[in-house]
Amino acid sequence: MNQHQPLVEQYIRQDSGEWLLRDVAGLESKLSLSSVSITIGMADVYIDVRFVPAPPHSEKPDSRSYF
């Protein structure tokens, strides 16, 4: 689950033993969990979460030194 946007990366194990990565994005999408026979809307997953827009990226390097 992503805390900055409505996005879940879901790994689904295939019959072959391989893993399939599925991105579920957007509040209008649905997340299906077949192992427990549940489908839930992303709006319900992220209920009461307010997404804050990211600050504009600055081209100016950070002047602080950590070393």
Which DSSP string do the residues of 35-62 spell out, in sequence order? GGTEEEEHHHHTTT--PPPPPPPPSSPP
Residue 15: which residues within 8 A CB-CB, separation 6 or more?
A: none
**How far is 41 from 31, CA to CA, in rounded Å?**
6
User: Is the four-CA dihedral 5, 11, 12, 16 of positive or negative sign?
Assistant: positive
- In this structure, what DSSP letter does residue 1 have? -
This prediction's pTM: 0.70
Mind listing the pLDDT tens digit of every residue in the chain (67 residues)? 888 899 999 999 999 999 999 999 999 999 999 989 999 999 999 999 998 887 887 666 655 655 5
